Amino acid sequence: MLIKLFSLFILITLFINHSLAYFITVDAHAEECFFDKVEAGTKMGLTFEIAEGGFLDIDVRIIGPDGKNIYQGERETSGKYTFAAHTQGVYTYCFSNKMSTMTPKVVMFNMAIGESPKAEAQEGETTNKLEEMIRELSASLTGVKQEQEYMQVRDRIHRSINESTNSRVVMWSFFEALILVAMTVGQVYYLKRFFEVRRVV
CB 57 within 8 A of CB 63: no
pTM for the full predicted model: 0.62
Residue 165: φ, ψ to 5°: -65, -40
Q: What is the mean pLDDT of residues 39-49?
A: 87
For the chain, the domains span: 18-156
Assign domain 18-156 one CATH number from 2.102.10.10, 2.60.120.680, 3.40.50.300, 3.30.160.100.
2.60.120.680
pLDDT (tens digit, 9 = 90+) per residue, 163-188?
Answer: 889 999 999 999 999 999 999 999 98
pLDDT at 13 over 50: no
Alpha-carbon Rg of the chain, whole angstroms?
Answer: 29
CA angle 94, 65, 82 (to 5 degrees): 60
- In the DSSP assignment, the letter for residue 97 is -
pLDDT at 16 over 80: no
Count Cβ neighbours within 10 Å for each residue of 11-44 and write b for 16 or more, e otherwise: beeebbbebeeeeeebeeeeebeeebebeeebbb
